[in-house]
Amino acid sequence: MIAILTAPGICTSEPEIRVAGSKPADLFRTTDLGSGIGVEIDLSEPGRWRSVTVHRWEQADLVLLRAVIGPDAVQDLERWRDERNAAGSRRLEAELSVDFTPARPWLRAAVIDALDWWLQLPLDQALLDAERAVVHARAARSLPAGVLRRDVADRALVLARRSAGGFVDYLDGLTGSAESLPRALFSGLSRLVNGYAALGRRVIDGPDDDLDSVAAAWLRLRAVVPVAATFRLPDHSVTYQLSDRPLLNTTPLRSSVDPRQLRARIVDTDVRAQEIRMVRSGESSVRVIVPAFGARQQPALLADRLMVRLVDSRSGAAQEPVLLTLRSGREAERFGAATPVFTEMVPLRGASPEYLRADVFDPDSHASPARSDTDDALLRQRRGQFVLGEWRRAVAESRLSRGAKVRRRRLTRLLDVLTQTGPDAGQPAFFGGPTPAEIAQLIDHPGARSETRHPWFASTEGAGELLVAELAAVHANR
C-alpha cells in the first residue's frame, strides 16, 4: 500500500496521512473508528483495507492504529513523518507494508458496516446489530488493557442491549414456528448467544435483564427445536423475481435508484428497471413515487429522512431537495401501488421534466448526484449491488442446504440478468467483480481449483463470512 503524508494545515479537510491501495472499487464503505482514524473496506477484498486515513497524527490513538495496520507500519509512519518535518517538505510518499493479522476483528466490523449499507436482502436488523456488537466486543479483547479497550467494550455492550429485544423476538419466533434448525444457522446463532454471554460477564453491578433475556430465549428454542443436518429450500426461493417495471430507458419520466446515495433495504431496487416514477401534475410540478423495500413498515428513523432532488441532465445542477413521505395501504393504492411507497410533490421550478433525473438520497450521503441513468459509475454500482446480493444469497442457500444445486440455479439466473443488463462477457460487471464469463465458468465447473477462480468468489470467506442475518433471511423463506 502507498502512504501519503501531507503537512497539516495545507487543507483542513484532507487527512494528514492516507494509506491506500491502487485498485478501483465500487462496493466500498468507510467506517470511522474514532480519534480521527478512518478505514475503508472493499467488499470484493474483505480481508484487507482499501484505505486507512489519519486526520491528524497528534490526535490519533496510536494503540488503535497499531491494531488496524500493525505496530511496524505505525513505526514507519512515525519515522517518515519526522523525516518530512525535518526536511520541511509538504508531502511525502512511500510504500508501506501493512500487517492485517491484528486487524482481523476490525476488518470484520468494517465488513458488517459495509454489508449493512450495500446488501439489498431482507435482513433482520436486530440480528445484524447483535452480530455487530459481538464483533466489536471481540475487537475490544484484541486491544491491550486500558481506556480504549474499555471504551470499545462499553460501546459493544450498549449496542448488544439495544438489539437484545429484536434478537429475542427472532429466537421466540423460531421457537413457535420452526420444525428444525439447519446446522449452519444453529452454529451462527449459538455464536451470537455465546457472545452475549461474554458481554454479560462484563456487567459487575448485578444481572443484566437485556442480555439475560437472550440466553433465556435461546434455552426455550433449544428445548423444542432440533438441529437438522440439511434444509430443503422451496423451489420459488431460488428464482430471482424480476419486476414488471419497464426495462431501462424505455419509458420517459423514470429514474434509477443510486445505491451510493442511500443505504440498502429502504427502497426497492431492480437492476433491470428504473424504479422511480415522476408523474406530471400540471405544468409546475411532478409527483415522485419510489417503492419502499418490502411490505413491512420502515423504521421511522430511516423513513422520515429520505429526500429527493431533481437533477438537470444537461448541466448537472441539482434543485432544492424535498422530504419524501412514506405512504401505505389505501394511501399507496392511490398511486397505483399495492405495497408502501415514498412519495411527494416536487416543484419543477421552470425546468422541463424530460431533462430531469429524480435523485433519491439520504441527507448523510455526500456523493454527488449522477446526471443521468446511463452514468457509467451508477450502472456499475447498481450491478455491483445486485451481484453482491445474489452471490451471497447463493452461498447462504448452499450453506443451509449443503448442496451445490441451489447455488447453480441462482447463479444461472444471475447470469441471465447480467446478460440483459451488463457489459460484454469478458468485461467485469463492476470494479472488483467477476466477468459474466467467469460466472459462467463457475457454473459449468464448480469443482475447479480456487486459485483459478476470480477472487470475488472467495469474498464470503474470512472477514467476508456470511452474516447470521443472511442465513436467517434464507431460512425465513422456508
Mean pLDDT of 127-141: 97
* End-to-end CA, the chain: 45
pLDDT in the model for residue 23: 92
Angle of helix 436-444 relative to helix 405-421, nearest 10 degrees? 160
Grid-cell match 437438522, residue found = 228
The 307-312 sheet, strands edge to edge: 322-323, 307-312, 356-361
pLDDT in the model for residue 249: 42
How far, rounded to the nearest angstrom, does the alpha carbon of residue 301 sit from its chain's CA centroid? 18
Is 376 buried (19+), middle (13-18) or exposed (0-12) by CB count in 10 A? exposed
What global pTM score does this model have? 0.93
Cell of 474: 434464507
Mean pLDDT of 90-117: 96
pLDDT in the model for residue 10: 57
Question: CA gyration radius for the chain?
Answer: 24
pLDDT digits (tens, 9 = 90+) for 219-250: 999 999 999 977 777 655 544 444 444 434 43
pLDDT digits (tens, 9 = 90+) for 238-293: 444 444 444 344 345 899 999 999 999 999 999 988 999 999 988 899 999 999 99
Per the CB < 8 A criterion, the answer to whether 433 and 26 are in contact is: yes
Tell me the average pLDDT of the chain.
Answer: 91
- The neighbouring-strand residues paired with 310 are 358
AA letter at 478: R
pLDDT digits (tens, 9 = 90+) for 166-199: 999 999 999 999 899 999 999 999 999 999 999 9
Q: What are phi and psi of 325, to 5 degrees?
A: -120, 135
pLDDT digits (tens, 9 = 90+) for 45-86: 999 999 999 999 999 999 999 999 999 999 999 999 999 999
Say which DSSP state 340 is in: -
